[in-house]
Amino acid sequence: MIPLIVIEGPTAVGKSALALDLALELQTELISADSRQVYRYLDIGTAKPSADEQSKIRHHLIDIIEPGQSYNAGSFAKDALDCARSIYDQGKIPIVCGGTGLYIRAMLTGLFPAIEINPQIRRDIDARMETEPLSEIYSELVQCDPVFAAQISCNDKQRIQRGLEVYISTGKPISQHWQEQESTSPYKPFKILVTDERANLYAKINNRVQQMLDKGLLQEIEFLLQQGYTSDDPGMKTMGYKEFIPYLLGDSSLEECQSDVCQHTRNYAKRQFTWYKKCDFDLTLNANEVSLSLVLDKINRSW
């Protein structure tokens, strides 16, 4: 089995700094588990590691597709396995770091288990998707499977429908099926969660959005628009990009767009907290008390 260090945590919590320090100490390489950092040209708004950081430690699965292309958890699981094997074959322990919990779950335990759906239930939900507000159907999913709902967009029709189909057909949420699924994982992971008090994290999020603007986020988005990308492209639906497009097109004020980014990112962090409550970790650290020596000691004791 491949030993693996996995570092997770909500957006803006500081997990990337720990991952970089740990990679430098262990002289290994990092695998990004961020569904947005896969896109080329989306640098500032996705908080990609800087050129200096990437020169110190090799980062995998960053800048691998164009903003107009799609990428999913299945693709990530396959690509991450290839990266992990390559790193391990060099005598190094791979480190996975990111906040996209669905990607990490797909990597470690596989994607959704095969579940047979009653055709009539599917037809009934199809009909509801055509006639009822998506927000109401998503709210229903939140009630029956908050863990799964926390990790998908409230506008993701396909996954919302899938979540309800599974719950109604089996009487159990997808998240429970995940827990019961037998893993054929090739990994032996040591899982670390970096967390923080919500008030502290929300303040960090607000500060980060302002810092991104100061670094030139608007110019980055403008460049993407000039290249012909639009809000319909998968990469341009990224938080921090989609909200500022109306401002650049003259349809909204900068203050309104910035407020939307902050709110949407805080909402995302809240969903991440819900996701992590249902996950098991070998070590949980408060962002203000991260100790590299403690992490190394815990990892060594575990293995």
- The string of DSSP codes covering 100-166 is -HHHHHHHHH-SPPP----HHHHHHHHHHHHHS-HHHHHHHHHHH-HHHHHTS-TT-HHHHHHHHHH
d(CA 257, CA 261): 6
Contact by Cβ (8 Å): 46, 39: yes
Q: Which residues pair with 30 in a beta bridge?
A: 59, 95
d(CA 144, CA 159): 14
d(CA 236, CA 37): 12
Integer angstrom CA distances of residue 142 from 62, 104, 155, 178: 31, 21, 13, 17
Give the pLDDT confidence score for residue 227 in this predicted structure: 98
Closest by Cα among 243, 215, 269, 234 to 47: 215
Give the pLDDT confidence score for residue 129 in this predicted structure: 95
d(CA 282, CA 6): 10
Give the pLDDT confidence score for residue 153 in this predicted structure: 87
Give the pLDDT confidence score for residue 109 in this predicted structure: 84
Q: In 3-state terms, what secondary structure has residue 283?
A: strand
**Which residues have C-beta within 8 Å of that of residue 299, sequence separation ≥ 6?**
5, 190
Closest by Cα among 7, 192, 19, 188 to 108: 188
> In this structure, what is the dihedral angle of CA atoms 112, 117, 121, 127, given to the nearest 10 degrees?
60
Contact by Cβ (8 Å): 185, 110: yes
Extract the residue ranges of the chain whose pLDDT is less than 50: 182
Q: Helix 254-277 and helix 101-109: axis angle, to 10°?
A: 30
Give the pLDDT confidence score for residue 278 in this predicted structure: 83
Give the pLDDT confidence score for residue 178 in this predicted structure: 73
Give the pLDDT confidence score for residue 180 in this predicted structure: 73
Give the pLDDT confidence score for residue 38 in this predicted structure: 99
Q: Which domains does the chain have, with CATH numbers?
A: 2-110+183-302 (3.40.50.300), 119-180 (1.10.20.140)
Report the mean per-residue pLDDT for the chain: 95
